[in-house]
């Protein structure tokens, strides 16, 4: 999934991003509400992890504008305020979930994953196609019963190809979902990742190239 983390404490922001990247998500980070609104206007994020008390534009206003825009991005609001009235107020702004500080990173990751599932059509618990079985929760991939060890990017690309259910996925779509905003759009990262994925999945070849369009698992 593509996740935007908005947190003005640099160490905490970096720790959240690192944890989520370990879960194979593409993560962008910013520390103020103005920059967050700019990124949200450009990129299609599945989940926004939003600290409530941030500079430039308050987190409440970021949430309010995002909801008013009709965006499908789900909002997990973070705050040090633990009172029930604060949680109710945050949810009333349109946030989908609310987590108070301090929190366990494992719980935050689980909530992000749950919200991400709500931002798109529901996936089955395990993705299966052409002899490939992928379990998103366990981060495990098997082909015809053989375990396939994948890197985080290879795993994320395979998820998108399996979710497409036989349809072709463009390189641009894969960049959008599996890489963060710092990737060069003209990079060969997608092609290289596909080559590595094909090699690890083995024969017969599974991932097809549709010339000029993208990639698919028929």
pLDDT at 59: 92
Report the CATH number at residue 145. Answer: 1.10.10.10
Let me know whether 93 and 10 are in one domain.
yes
Has residue 56 been placed in a domain? Answer: yes
**Quick check: 183 and 175 in contact, CB under 8 A?**
yes
Task: Please give the residue range of the domain that contains residue 73.
Answer: 2-117
Do 42 and 141 have their domain in common? no
Q: Indicate whether 122 belongs to any domain.
A: no
Rounded to whole angstroms, the Cα distance separating 29 from 48 reads: 10
Q: Which residues of the chain have pLDDT under 70?
A: 81-88, 90, 119-124, 181-186
Longest CA span, the chain? 58
Q: What is the pLDDT of residue 24?
A: 81
pLDDT score of 91 = 72
Whether residue 9 is found in the same domain as residue 104: yes
Which alpha helices (DSSP H) does the chain contain, by range? Answer: 10-22, 33-42, 59-68, 84-92, 105-118, 152-163, 171-178, 189-201
Residues 95 and 139 placed together within one structural domain of the fold: no
What is the number of structural domains in the chain?
A: 2
Residues 67 and 143 in one domain: no
Question: Could you tell me the pTM of the whole model?
Answer: 0.63
- The alpha carbons of the chain give a radius of gyration, in whole angstroms, of 18
Q: Give the Cα separation of 44 and 65 in Å (integer).
A: 15
DSSP helix, strand, coil percent of the chain (3-state; round to 5): 40, 20, 40
Q: Are residues 136 and 111 in the same domain?
A: no
The angle at the Cα of 98, spanning 95 to 104, to the nearest 5 degrees, equals: 145
Please identify, among 58, 82, 117, the residue that sits at the C-terminal boundary of a domain: 117
Structure confidence by residue, pLDDT tens digits, 42-86: 888 999 999 999 999 999 999 999 988 888 899 999 987 666 666
pLDDT value at residue 134: 93
Note whether 103 and 19 are within 8 A (CB): no
Please give the pLDDT value at position 122.
52
Per-residue pLDDT at 184: 67
């Amino acid at each position: 999934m593509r996740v935007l983390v908005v947190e003005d404490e640099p160490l905490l922001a970096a720790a959240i991003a690192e944890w989520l990247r370990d879960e194979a998500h593409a993560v962008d980070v910013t520390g103020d509400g103005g920059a967050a609104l700019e990124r949200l206007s450009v990129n299609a994020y599945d989940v926004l992890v939003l600290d409530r008390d941030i500079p430039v534009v308050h987190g409440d206003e970021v949430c309010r504008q995002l909801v008013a825009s009709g965006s499908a991005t789900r909002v997990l609001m973070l705050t040090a305020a633990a009172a029930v009235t604060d949680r109710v107020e945050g949810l009333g702004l349109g946030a989908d979930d609310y987590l108070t500080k301090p929190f366990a990173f494992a719980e935050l990751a689980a909530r992000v994953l749950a919200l991400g599932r709500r931002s798109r059509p529901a996936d089955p618990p395990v993705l299966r196609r052409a002899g490939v079985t992928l379990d998103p929760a366990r981060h495990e991939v098997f082909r015809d019963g053989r375990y396939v060890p994948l890197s985080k990017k290879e795993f994320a690309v395979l998820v998108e190809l399996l979710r497409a259910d036989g349809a072709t996925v463009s390189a641009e779509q894969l960049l959008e979902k599996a890489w963060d905003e710092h990737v060069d759009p003209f990079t060969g990262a997608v092609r290289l990742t596909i080559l590595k994925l094909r090699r690890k999945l083995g024969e017969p070849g599974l991932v097809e190239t549709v010339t000029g369009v993208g990639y698919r698992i028929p």
